[in-house]
Structure 1
Amino acid sequence: MHAHSHGHRAKRVRWRFATPAAFAVAGALFVVSATNSEGTDLRPGRVNDMPSLVRSEKSQYEDLREKASDLNGDVEALSARIDDDQVRKVRGRATRLQGPAGFTEVHGNALTVTLSDSPEELREGTDDIRRLVVHQQDIQAVVNAMWDAGAEGVMIQGQRVISTTGIKCAGNSVELQGIPYPQPYVITAVGDTSAMQARIDSDYGIGLYRSDAANPAIQIGWDIDVESSVTIPAYDGLRGLEYAEPLT
């Protein structure tokens, strides 16, 4: 009886010290997340040229990613010190989900789609350039078709895409993970290239885009290639979610 009580108290002591530490690190993660939200908000007029804007946003993003990596390391270290079966089970489950979540690299045959704006002379000759430039929905349509065809991993402009990746228009560029990128937009997916090609061919929205690409008066850029031996890196950016349940 005495030994049982002593073991129970020891377990409570471990949790008493580990839990506040874990909450402290979690609080720091929320601070980094809030900072990221402020730091990646594009405000008109802040930077006048695209190269400077990209360098500025990328520098801020890299700083935040480094801080997040350090904090994630602290969380892992604290979790490893907790001697509890339930914690070990949760950590094992998280490890198994790293691949589907995009936190491990994938390698294999790939399909690459490149989207670009119409030639400059066509864009300068009209007041309505909506059909002459690439929009976020064009990129999203291609990415969604790739996922729908069973892609193992997708990247845009060399950056791994995961479920929380945001794609939005930012002036004359497209913003990905808080960083603006100019065209052309290169989208690569590892997986069954025949299935992805078929899914892209059957997509109505992509079909309209490709019709504009074939129209001499529009000529918006479209190119698709099959590649072999492509590696898509693991996602190593900031993580917006603290907790999530996998879809079944």
Structure 2
Amino acid sequence: MTRSFIRPARLAALGVFALAGLIFWVSFNTAQGTNIRSDDSMLRLSDLIQERSRKNAELDSSSAAVRRQVDALAQRDDGTTKEQKRQLGSLEKGAGLRKVKGSGLTVTLDDAPTNATAKVPGLPDPQPNDLVIHQQDLQAVVNALWKGGAKGIKVMDQRLITTSAVRCVGNTLILQGRVYSPPYTVTAVGDTGKLNEALEKSPAIRNYQEYVDAYGLGWKVDEEKAMTLPGYSGTVDLQHAKPLR
């Protein structure tokens, strides 16, 4: 009786060819006839992110307008007294849902030039991470301004509330569903003397300013006698909460 069989070496070779064919097919299907190694695909991805961010901004504006109409209708005949409405207004202001006016300042942070070199003799040449704004840099400014008694803070064009998270991915800022690129601005309403003092006393900001002096990161503080911060207009629903004991 004749017995047919495949040698292990030949079976392994067939497996390798099959795997290679699968990889080529997946690569072709992903590329769809384009060069997946080119910068064009990355540019299209960046454009898509910016477009989605712009649409999110439009939706935020539209939903905020509808929310104001609903709130106005709900408060018109809800039976609350003037004192209760006053208390509600005070709570909304404290929560960042109402606009706030007063003196204040704006802090601007920016990446250093990509071809930056050490500005101080003896320092090593900068690494890529030394030339960009990081999440902790923005957080340090926001925390210092709160510590300085800010009545309200806005990052870029969005008001911060207690549930706001300042997060960076790569060299972009993601804030409440929208994407921003540097330069970044942080604006606070409050006593400018106390706000400046809080910035100067922050160890994290002093560390950041060492890189400003060494490699040219951007740092600018502008004071204004009168400014207005908009109220937060997004959702305030909490997904998770724990009672404070």
Common fold by TM > 0.5: yes
Q: Verify: 1:240 aligned to 2:237, yes or no.
A: yes
Q: Counterpart of 2:174 in 1: which secondary structure?
A: strand
Residue 53 of structure 1 is matched in structure 2 by: 49
> Would the alpha carbon gap of residues 117 and 49 (structure 1) be closer, same or farther in structure 2, given more than 3 Å must change?
farther
Q: Flag structure 1 segments of 5+ consecutive residues without an equivalent.
A: 1-44
8 Å CA contact 2:167, 2:173 repeated in 1: yes
RMSD (Å) for aligned C-alpha atoms: 3.4
8 Å CA contact 2:172, 2:182 repeated in 1: yes
Residue 101 of structure 1 is matched in structure 2 by: 95
> Would the alpha carbon gap of residues 234 and 64 (structure 1) be closer, same or farther in structure 2, given more than 3 Å must change?
closer
Q: Which segment is superposed worse, 236-245 or 102-111?
A: 236-245
**Larger Cα-atom Rg:** 2
Q: Counterpart of 2:208 in 1: which secondary structure?
A: helix
Q: Aligned to 1:114, which of 90, 108, 111?
A: 108
Q: Flag structure 2 segments of 5+ consecutive residues without an equivalent.
A: 1-40, 118-124
8 Å CA contact 2:116, 2:126 repeated in 1: no
Aligned 1:1-248 pairs, distance under 5 A: 48=44, 50-63=46-59, 66-67=62-63, 70=66, 73-74=69-70, 77=73, 93-122=87-116, 128-215=127-214, 218-241=215-238
Aligned length, in residue pairs:
197
What amino acid is aligned across from residue 53 of structure 1 in structure 2?
Answer: I
| Displacement after TM superposition at 1:114 (Å) | 0.6
What amino acid is aligned across from residue 239 of structure 1 in structure 2?
Answer: V
8 Å CA contact 1:164, 1:240 repeated in 2: no
8 Å CA contact 2:174, 2:180 repeated in 1: yes
TM-score by length of structure 2 reads 0.67
What amino acid is aligned across from residue 129 of structure 1 in structure 2?
Answer: P
| Displacement after TM superposition at 1:144 (Å) | 0.8
| Displacement after TM superposition at 1:170 (Å) | 2.3
> Would the alpha carbon gap of residues 241 and 73 (structure 1) be closer, same or farther in structure 2, given more than 3 Å must change?
farther
